[in-house]
Amino acid sequence: MNVVSFRLIQIRNQEDGEYRPGEELTVFTGMNGAGKTNLIEAVYFASIGKSFRTSQTEDLIRWEADEGTILLDFTLRGTVHQLKVRLSRKEGVRFFMNETKLRRKDLLGTFRTVLFTPDEMQLIKGVPQERRRFLDLEVSQVSPRYYEELLRYSRAVAQRNAALRQAQLRGTVPDIDIWDMQIACGAAYLVKKRAEAVARMNECLADTESALTGQKEALTIRYLLNQGEGVPDESWYLEKLAAVRDEDARLCRTSVGPHRDDLLFELNGRDISRFGSQGQQRTAILAMKLAETEFIRRETGEYPVLLLDDIGSELDRTRREALCGYLRQCRIQTLMTAAEYNGEDVCRIVLP
């Protein structure tokens, strides 16, 4: 899977710009404020349907325009396809694949990307929601059913919580058996798929971490259930939901399920958020992102496109060189931004 070209029309600071990256490493360079990150953001938006910089999609539209368009041509198993994203201040966002309209839930997995930005440090330092989002996005890109089940599960949790609130307001016993059954069924599936993904990521991590550190550090990911251990089945979740029903009714929230789970990143057997240095944490996150590209390749047969924003500020020279060596070895198409880049054998695009 490779980007052939992408064109931005009335997007951020781009009035109408077209870019043709190389097949392997492409570096966008330029002064601060030139719009390097805007290019990475646009490619990511065409892949995921969301920005990594803002929750307001109209922020991507050039300030004096009413509409903006992202056109992205990419290859999938040797065939060229086009994704079109139309952003409108009045009509919202619309997605098209080869001129056929797509729903956002059908967009995921069409054109796959893996993103690394300076904000990715929140994977280690941030709240559990950030780590769950990372894992859910990874699995959703390779499994359409997972994304469907995740949406269904989230709706069931929201409905259960609403029923608990209504019962509390009316002073009645909550009638939530149907939501418990839906939550238990969805939870068992989601946790099973998450656990499988974590196990496969750990298989890839040994290679990616050693490529960046010279086999000096061992990074692993652990999946942490909110309650219990292992990979629970549907009956386990039904029992747990029944056990916490009174407490959930009092607090009007659902306290059991994968929406409460977390990930733990361990470096040489120790929690990296507590014992890892800043440099070790940055390297660990990048190693996880590289492992994610390998996981997607094993699941789909092709590498995703790797997007690296401002990588120069996050890694020292030795690890940047190690990263570039790994990318060349695996032949992963990579779009990277940097204020300056002095390396060789890259496609360099300079922004004015």
What letter does residue 344 receive in the DSSP assignment?
A: S
**Tens of pLDDT, residue by residue, the chain (352 residues):** 999 999 999 999 999 999 999 999 999 998 888 899 999 999 999 999 999 999 999 999 999 999 999 999 999 988 999 999 999 999 999 999 999 999 988 999 999 999 999 888 889 989 999 999 999 999 999 999 999 999 999 999 999 999 999 999 999 999 999 999 999 999 999 999 999 999 999 999 888 887 887 766 788 999 999 887 889 999 999 999 999 999 999 999 999 999 999 999 998 889 998 888 888 888 889 899 999 999 999 999 999 999 999 877 667 777 778 888 888 888 999 999 988 777 777 888 989 8
Global pTM reads 0.92
Q: Which of 45, 162, 26, 150 is nearest to 93 (CA)?
A: 45
Q: Which of 152, 216, 159 is nearest to 187 (CA)?
A: 152
The runs of H, that is alpha helices, within the chain are 36-48, 104-107, 122-125, 128-140, 144-170, 177-213, 234-243, 245-251, 272-275, 278-300, 317-330
pLDDT in tens, 292-302: 999 999 999 99
Tell me the CA end-to-end span of the chain in Å, nearest whole number: 29
Give yes or no for a contact between 65 and 15, defined as CB atoms under 8 angstroms apart: no
> Is the Cα torsion angle 25, 28, 29, 33 positive or negative in sign?
negative
- Domain 118-301: top CATH class: mainly alpha
d(CA 191, CA 184): 11
Give yes or no for a contact between 66 and 14, defined as CB atoms under 8 angstroms apart: no
Q: Domain extents for the chain?
A: 118-301
- Distance of CA 319 to CAs 216, 249, 310, 313, Å? 13, 51, 14, 12
**pLDDT at 95 (0 to 100):** 97
- Name the region of 303 (left: φ>0; alpha: ψ -120 to 50; beta: rest): beta
- Distance of CA 135 to CAs 56, 148, 256, Å? 23, 15, 18
Tokens 């999609």 -> residue: 57
d(CA 115, CA 141): 13
